[in-house]
Amino acid sequence: MNFKEYQKLGQGLAIYQSGGIWLAFLHLFAHKEVLMAVQDLWLKRDGFKIYGKYYCPDENSGQLPLIIMSHGFRGSHLGTQAYAEQAYQAGYAVYSYDFVGSGNGSSKQSDGDFLAMSVLTQARDLQAVLEQLQERPEIDPKRVYLMGESQGGLVSAYVAGQIPQEIAGLILIYPAFVLQDDAKKRLEDFGQGPQSCMVMGTQIGAIYNQDALSFDIYQELAGYTKPVLIVHGDSDKIVPLAYSERAQATYQDAKLLVFPGAGHGFHGEDVQRAAQAMLNYLAEREGGE
C-alpha cells in the first residue's frame, strides 16, 4: 500500500465515525495489517535509552511522513496514544515516546532520573529522536512533523525554533508556555538557591527552574515560520488560553483552535476534535508539498 492508499483507508475510518459502519469494516478487513504494525522501539540520547511506540504502515508504501509526539509533565507516551492511532490509521508513521526520566509509573522503560529533567534535557531527547528516525529508510526526512501536548508542546515548539529547516510542521496541544512564568514565581517564593521543589505534587530538581529561565520561549517561537496549529481550551486553569493567544500572535503563520469549556487535558469528544484538527492540518501540509 502506498501513502495515498493509506489516506483512503483513513477516510474509510472517518465514514465509520459518521455512520458508515459497514464500509469502514470492509476497509479494516481488507487492510487489517495496518492495525498490526506497532512496535516497541528504543532510541538513545547521550547513553540514555529512550522508549517509544513506533507506528509504521506497510514498509512497501515508500517513504512516509513522520509525526513525533511528545507528552506532558509527569506523562508518558500513553498521553498521546489516541492521536498516534488516528494519525497511523490515516497513513502516517508515528513515534510516541517517553522522555528520559519519564514514563508510565513504576513500569517506565526510558532511562534516567526525573529530578535531572528539564525542558532543555527534553529538547535534547527530542532532537536525538528526530535524528535517529530521519535515518530510517521508510521515513522521508523532509516530511517530519512535531506534535506535543502541554510541556511536550513547549519542547516541540522550542526545537522547531532551533532547527526550523528540519521540521515540516508543528502541532501544539495546550502548550505549556506558562512554564517560564511559573518558574519565576517559584524562585520568588523559594529563593535563588540550587534547591528542588514540588510542582503539581511531584518533586523537581533545581535544573528544572534553572533551564526554564535560561531562554525566552517567545523569541524561540519566532524562529519557526511555517504554518503551526495550536489547540487550547478556554477553561484551562493550568495554562491559561492567553499564552497560546500570544504564541499565535508571535508566529508568522499560526491557527489557534479554541475549545469552549475544555480544560488542561482533553477528554472524550475534545480528543476526537483535536485529532481531526491535527489530521486536517497534516493533509493541508502534505497537499502543499
* Mean pLDDT, residues 46-61: 88
Label residue 221 by pLDDT band (50, 70, 90): very high
Distance CA 33, CA 41 (A): 19
Label residue 197 by pLDDT band (50, 70, 90): confident
Task: Locate the domains of the chain by residue range.
Answer: 37-177+218-287
pLDDT exceeds 70 at position 19:
no
Bridge partner residues of 44 (DSSP) = 49
Q: What is residue 13's three-state secondary structure?
A: helix
- Choose between 34 and 227: higher pLDDT: 227
Label residue 8 by pLDDT band (50, 70, 90): very low
Q: Work out the angle at residue 283's Cα, subtended by the Cα atoms of residues 252 and 232, and round it to the nearest 5 degrees.
A: 55
Prediction pTM value: 0.86
pLDDT tens-digit series, residues 128-144: 999 999 999 999 999 99
CA distance readout (Å), 289 to 59, 60, 92, 165, 283: 21, 21, 15, 14, 10
As a whole-number percent, the residues of the chain with pLDDT over 90 amount to 75
List the one residue out of 252, 256, 253 whose CA is nearest residue 243: 256
Q: Domain 37-177+218-287: give its CATH architecture.
A: 3-Layer(aba) Sandwich (3.40)
- Choose between 190 and 269: higher pLDDT: 269
Q: Which of 37-41, 66-70, 194-198, 225-229 has the lowest mean pLDDT?
A: 194-198
